[in-house]
Each structure stands twice: as structure tokens, then as C-alpha cells.
């Protein structure tokens, strides 16, 4: 079947899949013997499935999935299956099978060189690679492409030796040799059962770098990274990150790697970050290739985290996998929690928590607060690829973190041990995970599980009462969760609220309470809609420090005065809450300034904000990284999420005004900080050095924003002298925010001329421009015509179009030009790469929350998307959900 036909069929029949309909298959597959013969214009597949009747169910129907398969021959136990023996409907091919054990063989052809969806087997530059999660294996061969069918795989790859000297698949290499006509073969055997979504195959002319890791039990594991030859110098950091991850998982979870070989491949064409295929992780080049000269500190950190994340999946995802795709957070939430703890252990725990929470608030809270809201364990979907969301990943990780908080580290470890031991080699559910945690701790988590089934971010309104004569302080908590699509009524959540009380000197008060409060962990657990916590024996009215370390993914509101927030920002003993108090203070200021702007009044920055900025900037007891985090103003996703109706111009004006006041007021401070933070030392990526560079970059931006000519000169000099990418990007960002267009053009030109052969640098060159304040939709269109742009390459699309769409100031500043550009790009990508196209619809999802005229313009853009001919089910589902609101 041709690709076009398949797409059309999918949209005409966008079928909803429900969790409640889950049934085990009638047949399991014990083993798959796969032969893949790569030729120039097509690839030939021959697969042999060892079928075994599932004795727990009655039926006898073998249900296989296959998309875009050119069928040559199908056989069951040596007898050809002709059309009258099987049914084929959409992606499903099915037939009755009378025997309890049977062998099904399929000979098919596929066309990887025409596969622009980057799902299944496809061409990426000069190599071939695969992406099977969630349902890509069906684009390779016929198989029950569902995660609960777990089989051992043996894969033989044949290809031209000159074009594809390296042939890789999962497991261990067991055979290789020469074939006629300049061809060769390799055979791979994976002894661990796995679902089809973990299958991988790579063929190409790749350079290899090896290293080695000895496990705790003394087994030697070979580590290999394969990249296209021009990237051979960019692999060391990923290799080191991998070793750190392997060691950490042994130390913290007692989990060793299980095969003798672990491989990573870098691919330039990749729909997302990376993929945890058993023994053969495939990475987007952008999140694995690194050198100081081409990679920023932030990117180094995310590369380390993603290498760890994919490695950790070997246990949380591969050895124990998901029963069905509704359980996606079982592996993703848990693994994000694991990688986040890893980064916290490797660098600075409080800073990592701040980064995670900032990201949750910017990406997940808005999702929960709009038409895309869905539970961590969704009840239904049309296209599963649309559910790789911040809710499933990041909120899912917060849910696991809350279990960790409620049980404590020791019990949590016992629970995870039990989980891995009991379910090794199985496909299970989030309920199974929670049951292990209940079993080891004796805690009843049935109410807690509402976090998996109820969507929406709970609000907690907290008020206080001070009974002076009794020396009693009361905190009154009221929780409620707003309705979300399909869920109008919500039951109360179990919410761990870590808290402390501070006296006027900023010291912790002794806590005496009969509330459900754990003195050791400082956690008060809320279970009901209303909770009153009484704190006794206090000498004076305390200041509460609430939701420390962001102990639950909620929106907590307490009516702090500006002065109280300034006090907490400077005195709280909890590092996270110092940051959070500063953020709340800035947020309040921007919102009230935006309000003034709308009422036509003048905007004034409150004194408490300026005092706090000065105090933090000069607080040498804080690390550079913390100071940088505390001096950064909340971004647009946070501002938009905080208002009932978005008046985007007022928000932009208010934020600009705040930045400009802070910049001008402390111009000399920013200058002296920028200068004193400069360093000529050789580049090191560690918490101290990256913190220094972060603060330096921020101070430079403020200084430059104050309009000081010497700041431009300093930035240009920093750019010219930079020996690492962080300094270079810090300088460029600052300059691009300013209005010296001649300088901007000359540096951008210089950057491109210097780095045009380096793919990662070109991607950054694009996104530096599209994230700049002054960029116009027309310029984005020009960039889309640039020789380095390629609509088929998701990294290029993201760095040009998506970065622009997330640049609120620029995206909303063009009478809908930006919206039209986005809608047109989605429509064009709809046929080429439905997955990437669908993700872009998210940008338009909050249209209903905007004030006119933006609202109607965004709505028009969405309608324009929905009117696209031959709409893929991916885009259809997203646009339809967004429009319904
Ligand atoms: N499991 C993959 C994501 C696959 C996305 C498919 N649309 C990467 C990860 O989360 O580790
Ligand atoms: Zn993952």
C-alpha cells in the first residue's frame, strides 16, 4: 500500500482507543526471526513469528499490525495464506489459527528512502535507522505491535558493504560475513524478551568510539558510540555521561546493566530526543554530540540527563515495560524522576529542582489548564504519539516523587526492588507499581492514585489565623481542582505539603502540632477538601514557608504581602522557596503593572522588587547558579497561566518595563558583576563554572538592556574572544535583544561563515535568531528559504518555526502573521511528518484564553489547520481538541 493511501484511510476513520477496552491478545509471540535486506530502492523483510496460544483467553484470532507493507508472501506453518484466509482492515491483518503453537512467516517490501515520517525504518542522511515507539514497528513488518507482546529477537541485516559497513541491531553480535555482489551481513541476537517498540536497526558508514564499564558484580560491558565521521570528535562527553549513569543506577537502585554491549547512535533526522531501544539507543544528534566549542552549558546538562534517562529505561521501561500505552507514565514518569535525581546528585540539588519546577510550570501547568488537559494515565486517545506530553512525563515524575516523599527513600527503594523483581520480563500497569509501594510500606495509596486518573492542577488556597493569647497559629487549607475536558467533578487529592514557620529573624520555629505532620520530613499531608493545621506554643506570629521543594505539583495561593515575599526571598532556610518567593514577587509585580497598563495608568515597579534584586545580586552566600535563577524574571508561559484572560500586549509591556527598570536602576552593579565574573580559565563543565557563566550571561543582558554603549562593546568582545559556546551564545543573545542592527548582522554572518558545516551550530544559529526579541514573521519565512533549512528535518523546523512560535513577544506582534506562518507550516508538514506537525498545534491550544483580537486570529489559524486536505489523524486529534476547548 502506498503511504498516501494509508494516511487518507487513517483520517477518514479516526478511531478512539479506550483504556477500558484493554484485552489480552489470543496469541503471544515467543520469538521473532527477522531478516532485513537493504537495497537501493526498497528493503526486503522476511519475518518468522513463533506464535503461542494465550491460555488465559478463549479466542483463536492472530491479530497483527502492518502499515505500508508490500506483501510478497504470507505463510502459516508452511502453507501459503492467501486473501481468503486473512482479513486486512486499516493497520490490522488477522486470521484464525487452530494450533496452539504455529509459525507465521511474512515476506514484504518497504521503502525507507521515501519514509519522511521518521517512524519505522527510514533514511537519516547517509544512514538508515529506526524509530519504533510507539507504533512504528508495524511500518517495518507484520507483528502484534503492542507493548504487552514480548519476544526474543534475532535479526539478520544484509546490505551493500561499501555504503553500509556498519550493521547494528539489539542485543549481541553473533555472526557476520561476506555475500556476493559486494554485500555483507550481520546477525544480532537479543536474549531478553522485549516488545516491538524497543526494536532498533542501524546501517551506515559510521565511525565508532569504544569504551568500557565494569559492573558492580565485575562484568565487563563494552560501550560504543556510532556517529557519522564528521562528528567523531563529539562523542566523549556522552560516553562519560553513560558511565556515570551506569554507576549511579547501581548505587541508588542496585540495578546493573545486563548485556555485554551497550551502543548509542546519533541521527540527524529524529522526531524527538532519543530512544531507549534495548542495547542500541538512538539519539537525536542535537542531544548527544558535544564539544565545549559547539555546546552550551545547558545543552551539556541536558545531554547528560538524556543519556542517563535512556540508559535508566533499561530497567524502568525495558526489563519491566508497559502493558498498554495508557500506562506510558509507568516508564516515563518513573524514568524522568530517576534522571532528575541523577542530575541533582551530579550537580546542585536545589538548582535542579528549580529548573524542573520552572519547566513544569511553563509547560505542564498550561497543558493542565486548557483543552489538552488529560490525566497522567489517559483514558482514551486517537493517536498515541500525541500523548508523549509534559503531563505524562513531567507531572508523572512529580507523582512518583510524591510517593518517594510520602514513603521516604528507604521504603521507596524497597518498593522499587520489589517492582523490578516481581515484574522482570513483564508488561505491567501503574497500579502494579503503586501496589509494590503499598506492600513494602503498609501505606494505603488508593486515594493517592487519583493523581493518575484525575487531570488538572489542584489549587490550594491557604489562609492563616493568629491567636495571640494562646500562642497558636493556624493554617487553613482548602483544595479544589478545576474541571478539565471530560472531568467536571474531582475528588480530593492526597497532597504532601512540606512546610516550616519562620520567626522575625528568619529562624525556623519549633513545630508543635497535632496535624498529620511528619517532623522529620516537615511534610503535612492533606487528604480532605479542608484541613486546619494548628501550631502551638509560638511566641509571635510566624511567616509560613509553604510547599517547600515544591513537594506537590499544585498551585498554592497564600496572600503574602510584597514585604513578606521579599523577606522569604532573602531569609527562608529552604533554598527552593527563596527562589519561589522571589518569583512570586516578580510575578505579582508584572501582573499588577499589566493591569495598570490596561487601565491606562502608569506602571510602577514596587520597591520590594528592587530591594530584593539588589539583595540577591549582592548575596555572596548564594551560589552563582542560585543567584542567576533568583534574578531571572518569569517568562510568558508563567504570566499567561497566571491570568484569567490573556492581554498579551499588556503582559509584554509590563515585563519589558520591569526588565528595563531593573536594568537601569542597577546598571553599575550589572557592569561590575559582568566584569568580575569574566574568566579566561579553560572550559570546565561543572556546577560551579556553569553557574558562573549563567550569572555572567544574565548580568550582561541586564547591563546591555540598560542601554550602555560599553555593554555592547563588552558583549562583542566576549563573542569574539569566546573559546566556548556558552560565552558565545550569552554574548549573542544579549546583542540580539538590543537594537544595534549592524552589529547583529555582522556577528550573525560571522557565526554562519565560521560554522556552516557543523549541523548543531547551524541549528543554534537559527534558534538564536528566532528567539530574539525583534524577529518578524517575514524574517522567519526568509530563514525557511535558507540553504541550511530543510522542512523534512525536525531539528530545523523546531529551531526556526517552533522557537519563533514560542517567542511570545515576536509571535504575537504581527497582526496574525506569525499565526498564519505556523498554520501553513503545520499543513505542509501534515503529509511529510504528521508527528512533528501535530506537536506544533500545541502552540495554538490556549487560543480561548486570549482577549480579542488575538483570540479570533488564533482560532482562525486553528481552523485553517483543520481545513487541511488529507489531514493526518495526528494533526486532526490535536486541532480538534484544541478547537473544542
Ligand atoms: N521513549 C522515547 C519516546 C518515544 C516517543 C514516541 N513518539 C524517549 C524517552 O522518553 O525516553
Ligand atoms: Zn523516556
pLDDT tens by residue, 630-682: 999 999 999 999 999 999 999 999 999 999 999 999 999 999 999 999 999 99
Q: Find the mean pLDDT for residues 420-437.
A: 99
Q: What is the pLDDT of residue 177?
A: 98
* Cα–Cα distance for residue pair 300/174, rounded to 1 Å: 35
Grade residue 829 by pLDDT with cuts at 50, 70 and 90.
very high
Q: Which ligand is nearest to the CA of 839?
A: 1
The CB density around residue 469, as the number of other CB atoms within 10 Å, is 5
* 1 has pLDDT over 60: no
CA of 771 to the centre of ligand 2 (A): 27
CA of 608 to the centre of ligand 2 (A): 42
Residue nearest ligand 1's atom 1 by CA: 275
Q: Which ligand is nearest to the CA of 874?
A: 1
Q: Which ligand is nearest to the CA of 281?
A: 1
Residues framing ligand 1 (Cβ under 6 A): 133-134, 272, 274-276, 309-310, 313, 332, 385, 388
Residue nearest ligand 1's atom 7 by CA: 385
pTM: 0.98
What is the residue whose three cell numbers read 559556546?
A: 725
Q: Which atom of ligand 1 is nearest to the CA of 134?
A: 6
Q: Find the mean pLDDT for residues 789-812.
A: 98
Instruction: Check if the beta carbon of residue 106 is closer than 8 Å to that of residue 45.
Output: yes
| HEC per residue, 157-210 | EEEECCCCCEEEECCEEEEEEEECCCEEEEEEEEEEEECHHHCCEEEECCEEEE
Please state, rounded to an integer, the average pLDDT across all residues of the chain: 97
358 Cβ neighbours under 8 A, 6+ residues apart: 629
535 Cβ neighbours under 8 A, 6+ residues apart: 472, 473, 474, 475, 501, 509, 511, 512, 513, 542
Q: Which ligand is nearest to the CA of 316?
A: 2
User: What cell was used for 324?
Assistant: 498498554
DSSP-based helix, strand, coil % in the chain, nearest 5: 45, 20, 35
Q: What is the pLDDT of residue 7?
A: 39
Catalytic residue flag (residue 332): no
Q: Which of 194, 275, 834, 835 to mutate to test the pocket of ligand 1 (most atoms within 8 A of CB)?
A: 275
* Cα–Cα distance for residue pair 10/753, rounded to 1 Å: 44
CA of 319 to the centre of ligand 2 (A): 14
Q: Which atom of ligand 1 is nearest to the CA of 393?
A: 10
Q: What is the pLDDT of residue 483?
A: 98
User: What cell was used for 328?
Assistant: 506510558
Q: How far is CA 503 from CA 142, 466, 533, 566, 573, in A?
A: 67, 13, 18, 14, 11
User: What cell was used for 317?
Assistant: 521501561
| HEC per residue, 771-790 | CCCCCCHHHHHHHHCCCCCC
793 Cβ neighbours under 8 A, 6+ residues apart: 268, 269
CA of 244 to the centre of ligand 2 (A): 18
Residue nearest ligand 1's atom 3 by CA: 275
Q: Which atom of ligand 1 is nearest to the CA of 384?
A: 7
Q: What is the pLDDT of residue 457?
A: 98
Q: Which ligand is nearest to the CA of 274?
A: 1
Q: What is the pLDDT of residue 2?
A: 39
Instruction: Check if the beta carbon of residue 761 is closer than 8 Å to that of residue 299.
Output: no
CA of 39 to the centre of ligand 1 (A): 29
Q: Which atom of ligand 1 is nearest to the CA of 306?
A: 11
Q: What is the pLDDT of residue 9?
A: 41
Q: Find the mean pLDDT for residues 149-166.
A: 99
483 Cβ neighbours under 8 A, 6+ residues apart: 456, 489, 490
CA of 480 to the centre of ligand 1 (A): 32
* 545 has pLDDT over 70: yes
Determine the 3-state secondary structure of 592 from DSSP. Answer: helix
Share of the chain above pLDDT 90, in %: 98
Q: Which of 136, 273, 329, 381 to mutate to test the pocket of ligand 1 (most atoms within 8 A of CB)?
A: 273
Residue nearest ligand 1's atom 4 by CA: 133
CA of 316 to the centre of ligand 1 (A): 13
Q: Which of 276, 288, 873 to mutate to test the pocket of ligand 1 (most atoms within 8 A of CB)?
A: 276
| Neighbouring residues of the ion ligand 2, judged by CB less than 5 Å | 332, 335
Q: What is the pLDDT of residue 656?
A: 97
Q: Which of 310, 314, 384, 838 to mutate to test the pocket of ligand 1 (most atoms within 8 A of CB)?
A: 310
User: What cell was used for 679?
Assistant: 574568566
Determine the 3-state secondary structure of 655 from DSSP. Answer: helix
Q: Which atom of ligand 1 is nearest to the CA of 272?
A: 5
Q: What is the pLDDT of residue 14?
A: 85
Q: Which ligand is nearest to the CA of 397?
A: 2
DSSP H or E segment with residue 109: strand 101-110
CA of 837 to the centre of ligand 2 (A): 21
Q: Find the mean pLDDT for residues 38-65.
A: 98
Grade residue 201 by pLDDT with cuts at 50, 70 and 90.
very high
Residue nearest ligand 1's atom 8 by CA: 275
Q: Which atom of ligand 1 is nearest to the CA of 385?
A: 7
Q: What is the pLDDT of residue 291?
A: 98
785 Cβ neighbours under 8 A, 6+ residues apart: none
The one catalytic residue among 119, 135, 228, 310: 310
Q: How far is CA 824 from CA 772, 827, 828, 866, 867, in A?
A: 22, 5, 6, 11, 11
Q: Which of 274, 288, 340, 396 to mutate to test the pocket of ligand 1 (most atoms within 8 A of CB)?
A: 274
CA of 312 to the centre of ligand 1 (A): 13
Q: What is the pLDDT of residue 850?
A: 98
pLDDT tens-place string over residues 712-744: 999 999 999 999 999 999 999 999 999 999 999
- Whether the CA torsion 575, 577, 579, 581 is positive or negative: it is negative
Q: Find the mean pLDDT for residues 857-877.
A: 97
Q: Which atom of ligand 1 is nearest to the CA of 313?
A: 11
What is the residue whose three cell numbers read 486473512?
A: 86
pLDDT tens-place string over residues 442-501: 999 999 999 999 999 999 999 999 999 999 999 999 999 999 999 999 999 999 999 999
* 321 has pLDDT over 70: yes
CA of 315 to the centre of ligand 2 (A): 11
* Cα–Cα distance for residue pair 260/278, rounded to 1 Å: 12
pLDDT tens-place string over residues 493-542: 999 999 999 999 999 999 999 999 999 999 999 999 999 999 999 999 99
Q: Find the mean pLDDT for residues 544-561.
A: 98
Q: How many helices (H) and strands (E) does the chain have?
A: 31, 33
Residue nearest ligand 1's atom 10 by CA: 332
CA of 350 to the centre of ligand 2 (A): 23
CA of 274 to the centre of ligand 1 (A): 7
* Cα–Cα distance for residue pair 375/792, rounded to 1 Å: 32
Q: Which ligand is nearest to the CA of 272?
A: 1
* Cα–Cα distance for residue pair 222/231, rounded to 1 Å: 20
Q: Which atom of ligand 1 is nearest to the CA of 310?
A: 11
Q: What is the pLDDT of residue 13?
A: 65
Residue nearest ligand 1's atom 5 by CA: 133
Q: Which of 313, 327, 385, 389 to mutate to test the pocket of ligand 1 (most atoms within 8 A of CB)?
A: 313
* Cα–Cα distance for residue pair 807/799, rounded to 1 Å: 11
Amino acid at each position: 500500500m502506498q503511504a498516501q493511501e494509508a494516511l487518507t484511510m487513517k483520517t477518514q476513520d479516526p478511531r478512539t482507543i479506550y483504556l477500558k477496552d484493554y484485552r489480552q491478545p489470543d496469541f503471544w509471540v515467543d520469538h521473532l526471526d527477522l531478516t532485513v535486506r537493504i537495497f537501493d530502492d526498497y528493503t526486503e523483510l522476511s519475518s518468522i513469528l513463533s506464535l503461542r496460544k494465550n491460555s488465559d483467553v478463549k479466542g483463536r484470532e492472530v491479530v497483527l499490525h502492518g502499515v505500508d507493507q508490500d506483501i510478497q508472501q504470507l505463510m502459516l506453518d508452511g502453507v501459503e495464506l492467501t486473501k481468503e484466509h486473512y482479513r486486512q482492515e486499516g493497520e490490522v491483518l488477522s486470521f484464525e489459527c487452530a494450533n496452539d503453537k504455529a509459525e507465521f512467516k511474512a515476506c514484504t517490501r518497504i521503502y525507507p528512502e521515501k519514509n519522511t515520517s521518521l517512524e519505522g525504518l527510514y533514511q537519516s542522511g547517509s544512514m538508515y535507522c529506526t524509530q519504533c515507539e510507539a507504533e512504528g514497528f508495524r511500518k517495518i513488518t507484520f507483528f502484534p505491535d503492542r507493548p504487552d507482546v514480548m519476544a526474543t529477537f534475532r535479526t539478520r541485516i544484509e546490505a551493500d558493504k561499501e555504503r553500509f559497513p556498519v550493521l547494528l541491531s539489539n542485543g549481541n553480535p553473533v555472526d557476520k560475513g561476506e555475500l556476493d555482489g559486494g554485500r555483507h551481513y550481520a546477525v544480532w541476537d537479543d536474549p531478553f524478551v522485549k516488545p516491538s517498540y524497543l526494536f532498533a536497526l542501524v546501517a551506515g558508514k559510521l565511525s565508532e568510539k569504544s569504551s568500557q564499564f565494569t559492573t558492580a558484580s565485575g562484568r565487563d560491558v563494552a560501550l560504543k558510540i556510532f556517529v557519522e565521521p564528521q562528528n567523531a570528535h563529539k562523542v566523549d562527553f556522552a560516553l562519560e555521561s553513560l558511565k556515570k549513569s551506569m554507576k549511579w543506577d547501581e548505587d541508588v537502585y542496585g540495578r546493573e546493566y545486563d548485556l555485554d554491549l551497550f551502543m548509542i547512535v546519533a541521527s540527524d533526522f529524529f522526531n524527538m530526543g532519543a530512544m531507549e531501544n534495548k542495547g542500541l539507543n538512538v539519539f537525536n544528534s542535537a542531544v548527544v554530540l558535544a564539544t565545549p566549542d559547539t555546546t552550551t552549558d545547558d545543552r551539556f546538562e541536558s545531554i547528560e540527563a538524556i543519556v542517563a534517562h535512556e540508559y535508566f529505561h533499561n530497567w524502568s521501561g525495558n526489563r519491566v515495560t508497559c502493558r498498554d500505552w495508557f500506562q506510558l507514565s509507568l516508564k516515563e514518569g518513573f524514568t524522568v524522576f530517576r534522571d532528575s535525581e541523577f542530575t541533582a546528585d551530579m550537580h546542585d540539588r536545589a538548582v535542579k529542582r528549580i529548573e524542573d519546577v520552572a519547566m513544569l510550570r511553563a509547560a505542564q501547568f498550561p497543558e493542565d489548564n486548557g483543552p489538552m488537559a488529560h490525566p497522567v494515565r489517559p483514558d482514551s486517545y486517537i493517536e498515541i504519539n500525541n500523548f508523549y506530553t509534559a503531563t505524562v512525563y513531567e507531572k508523572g515524575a512529580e507523582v512518583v516523587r510524591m510517593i518517594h516523599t510520602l514513603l521516604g527513600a528507604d521504603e521507596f527503594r524497597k518498593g522499587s526492588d520489589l517492582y523490578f523483581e516481581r515484574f522482570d520480563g513483564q508488561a505491567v500497569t501503574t497500579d502494579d507499581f503503586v501496589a509494590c509501594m503499598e506492600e513494602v510500606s503498609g501505606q494505603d495509596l488508593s486515594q493517592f492514585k487519583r493523581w493518575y486518573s484525575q487531570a488538572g492542577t489542584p489549587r490550594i488556597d491557604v489562609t492563616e489565623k493568629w491567636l495571640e493569647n494562646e500562642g497558636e497559629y493556624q493554617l487553613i487549607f482548602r483544595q479544589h481542582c478545576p474541571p478539565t475536558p471530560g472531568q467536571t467533578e474531582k475528588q480530593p487529592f492526597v497532597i504532601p505539603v512540606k512546610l516550616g514557620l519562620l520567626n522575625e529573624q528568619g529562624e525556623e520555629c519549633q513545630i508543635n502540632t497535632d496535624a498529620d505532620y511528619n517532623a522529620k520530613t516537615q511534610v503535612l499531608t492533606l487528604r480532605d477538601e479542608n484541613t486546619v493545621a494548628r501550631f502551638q506554643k509560638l511566641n509571635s506570629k510566624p511567616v509560613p514557608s509553604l510547599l517547600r521543594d515544591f513537594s506537590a505539583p499544585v498551585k498554592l495561593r497564600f496572600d503574602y504581602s510584597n514585604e513578606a515575599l521579599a523577606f522569604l526571598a532573602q531569609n527562608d532556610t529552604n533554598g527552593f522557596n527563596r527562589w519561589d518567593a522571589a518569583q512570586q514577587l516578580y510575578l505579582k509585580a508584572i501582573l499588577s503593572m499589566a493591569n495598570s497598563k490596561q487601565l491606562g495608568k502608569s506602571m510602577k515597579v514596587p520597591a520590594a522588587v528592587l530591594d530584593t534584586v539588589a539583595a540577591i545580586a549582592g548575596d555572596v552566600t548564594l551560589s552563582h547558579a542560585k543567584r542567576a535563577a533568583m534574578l531571572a524574571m518569569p517568562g510568558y508561559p508563567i504570566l499567561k497561566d497566571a491570568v484569567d484572560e490573556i492581554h498579551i500586549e499588556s503582559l509584554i509591556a509590563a515585563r519589558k518595563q520591569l526588565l528595563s527598570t531593573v536594568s537601569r536602576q542597577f546598571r553599575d552593579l550589572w557592569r561590575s558583576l559582568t566584569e568580575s565574573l569574566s574568566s579566561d580559565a579553560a572550559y570546565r563543565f561543572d556546577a560551579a563554572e556553569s553557574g558562573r557563566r549563567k550569572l555572567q550571561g544574565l548580568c550582561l543582558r541586564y547591563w546591555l538592556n540598560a542601554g550602555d554603549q560599553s555593554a555592547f562593546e563588552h558583549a562583542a568582545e566576549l563573542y569574539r574572544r569566546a573559546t566556548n559556546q556558552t560565552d558565545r551564545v550569552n554574548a549573542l543573545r544579549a546583542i540580539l535583544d538590543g537594537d544595534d542592527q549592524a552589529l547583529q548582522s555582522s556577528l550573525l554572518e560571522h557565526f554562519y561563515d565560521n560554522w556552516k558545516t557543523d549541523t548543531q551550530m547551524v541549528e543554534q544559529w537559527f534558534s538564536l535568531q528566532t528567539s530574539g526579541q525583534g524577529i518578524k514573521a517575514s524574517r522567519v519565512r526568509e530563514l525557511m528559504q535558507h540553504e541550511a533549512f530543510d522542512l523534512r528535518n525536525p531539528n530545523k523546523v523546531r529551531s526556526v518555526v517552533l522557537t519563533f512560535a514560542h517567542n511570545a513577544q515576536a509571535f504575537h506582534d504581527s497582526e496574525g502573521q506569525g499565526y498564519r506562518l505556523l498554520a501553513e507550516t503545520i499543513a505542509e508538514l501534515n503529509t511529510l511528518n504528521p508527528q512533528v506537525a501535530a506537536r506544533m498545534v500545541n502552540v495554538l491550544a490556549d487560543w480561548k484564553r486570549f482577549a480579542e483580537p488575538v483570540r479570533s486570529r488564533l482560532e482562525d489559524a486553528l481552523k485553517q489547520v483543520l481545513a487541511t486536505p488529507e489531514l493526518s489523524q495526528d494533526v486532526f486529534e490535536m486541532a480538534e481538541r484544541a478547537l473544542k476547548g
